[in-house]
Amino acid sequence: MGESTVLVTGGAGYIGSHVTRQLVERGERVVVLDNLSTGFREAVEGAELVVGDTGDAALVNDLMARHAVDTLMHFAAHTVVPESVADPLKYYRNNTNSSRILVEACVANGVRRVVFSSTAAVYGEAGDGTVAEDSPLHPINPYGRSKLATEWVLEDLATAGALEHVTLRYFNVAGCAPDGRIGQSTPNATLLIKVAAEAAAGIRAGMHVFGTDYPTPDGTCIRDFIHVEDLAHAHVLALDHLRDAGASLTLNCGYGHGYSVLEVLRMVEQVAGAPLKINFADRRPGDPVQLVANAARIRETLGWTPRHDDLEVIVRTAIDWERNRRY
């Protein structure tokens, strides 16, 4: 792949580590920048790890210049919706301002390709619950707003001719690498399947379901769950698209169908072979009723074909990781 380098911020975290591994396995030269606040050294395989913050302009500029970075893949972010409601400045400081500093360094160092980790939270409450990339953007929490602000920065820079980007709007990421080498060990994680898998493995005594009075068939929220390996592959395809002089894109990353919270928990119980201890609680602020991707565009433009679109597979890899954690 020559001497060019992909800089992966947040590459020691859950999604970033899966992408880093896929990049390394195909022969890319990768440098990971992560402050290890939620990531793990052990998750970085085959890439150089630099411990530091994306908001450190001097460090970021040095890395880009020293390693001949040609592409930035930006994952580093705070991602907990309830926390963003309680402490919005934390999210604007890291997700928005640090991202601006990072992208500014790209422009200064001639790094013209950016793959950005965004979120379906930019849509907010979405009509019938299914959203396409051109659906209205009305984020209902600071997490979604902080990510949307960075989307706008990238769009404006692309319009100005400063760089090209692929922005990937994630839906609900779940599961772990099927071979068990890397997975999600984020402390105090809040993602549904992660929490349920911990409960199934005995790491948690039980779990909460927030809201049973939503206007859905069983009263719980509906989400589009995507396996982390399929999501990681979308990033590799996005890199190829940009290297082939492809135009800037914004793409949904989901399977195009949803499961309710209770449907997911029943699958966890089925795979684990034991019931979960479930405590029912009131709705959390900032949670939309239903959020499912219209994912036609990513399939058409990147040729993305999911290989793990099966709730049982997603749940099984998540539980296997919790029962056999490496870190």
Helix, coil or strand: residue 124: strand
Closest to 301 (Cα-Cα) out of 232, 253, 229? 253
Instruction: Give the sheet arrangement for strand 113-119, strand by strand.
Output: 48-51, 30-34, 5-9, 69-74, 113-119, 164-170, 249-253
Helix crossing, 192-200 with 311-323: angle to 10°? 50
- Annotated active-site residue in 14, 91, 143, 255: 143
Note if 255 is an active site residue: no
Gap between the Cα atoms of 161 and 179, Å rounded = 42
Contacts of 200 (CB under 8 A, 6+ apart): 268, 269, 271, 272, 274, 276, 319, 322
Query: Residues with catalytic annotation?
Result: 143
